[in-house]
Amino acid sequence: MRLFVRIFLGIFALAVIGLAIFLVPPHLQTQGIKPDLPTEQALRNLMTAEDGPIAVHYVLTASQSVRGRQLAHTTFLVEWANGNLFAIDAGMDETGAADFAELMNRISGGGEAQFFGTLGAQLGSELERVKGIGFTHLHIDHTQGVTAFCSDRGAGTDLLQTNDQRDEHNFNTVEGAEIVTKSCLSRGTLQGREILTNDAFPGLGLIALGGHTPGSTLFAVGLKDHLWLFSGDTTNTKTDLVNNRGKGFVYSGLFVPENTGRTENLRLWLTGLDTNADIDVIVSHDLEALLATGMPKFSR
């Protein structure tokens, strides 16, 4: 064999070994996270909680056109009769949205970020009603807006977070975890097993999912007549969810180490629930599917 071929093969082998050393631990970690899921009836029990939530609204912080669809960066606001709000995900500030759009553009193509304002800018004086916040997972596009949120809001917001989301990180979630740890948020206590609840937010439940990231969490919101399930980035589109389509090897194997067996179980579980007329599964980034549910936009 010629010398340069041997050198090439040597470098290639080293690169493969290096990649394996880098990727095997996060894959082993996420393979080990598959907590029990609640039954449909247990989820429906959230709908009968005393003084449960009265509405759910969406806020669009930013969006980007990617291959003909709008990739939305949303925050969802759960509202109670006493005026309290709970935010699911924090979106990004303008710089964060521009940086993320550029990253997406390099990976898979896409237009420039459109920015619609931080939570503070869009909520104005209503921001102080936000008494709790939670994250579907700790990727930067869901957490970066916390810094702006804290400088606008100050202390007084509880963080509801599963133990997996607090403790289990990989190279994609450490940055978001650090933003959250250093933020103004103080962690609230949770009760329960498959469905975790907090007395200050009756009718709201957290369910540890894993799959997409070690700490991925489903937020379930039981209104009296409707159950909303916020599935984060278990899939990137609603179509992928209902058609049980994974994200492919490059995404799930290399860029974002996913437990693909688990994400498939979750797709099937969530699709089954979504077939009910009074249950909607919301996929974080799918604006078109969100608008089709008729969820109202938050207005002051």
Residues of this chain that interact with Zn ion (CB under 5 A) are 141, 233
CB 286 to Zn ion: min, Å: 11
Residue closer to Zn ion (CB basis): 93 or 233: 233
Main-chain dihedrals φ then ψ at residue 211, nearest 5 degrees:
90, -80
Residue closer to Zn ion (CB basis): 79 or 89: 89
Residue closer to Zn ion (CB basis): 162 or 198: 162
* CB proximity list for 242: less than 8 A, separation 6 or greater: 271, 274
3-state helix, strand, coil split of the chain in percent (to 5) is 40, 20, 40
Q: Would you say 62 and 115 are in contact if contact means Cβ atoms under 8 Å apart?
A: yes
Q: Which tokens go with 39?
A: 């039954």
CB 120 to Zn ion: min, Å: 21
Q: Which tokens go with 17?
A: 């070994």
Residue closer to Zn ion (CB basis): 164 or 233: 233
CA distance 299 to 59: 9
CB 67 to Zn ion: min, Å: 16
CB 14 to Zn ion: min, Å: 33
Q: Which of 228, 218, 245 is nearest to 77 (CA)?
A: 228
Main-chain dihedrals φ then ψ at residue 96, nearest 5 degrees:
-60, -45
Residue closer to Zn ion (CB basis): 162 or 235: 235
CA distance 38 to 31: 20
CB 23 to Zn ion: min, Å: 20
Residue closer to Zn ion (CB basis): 72 or 123: 72
CB 5 to Zn ion: min, Å: 42
CA distance 107 to 105: 6
What amino acid is encoded at 95 in this protein? T
* CB proximity list for 82: less than 8 A, separation 6 or greater: 51
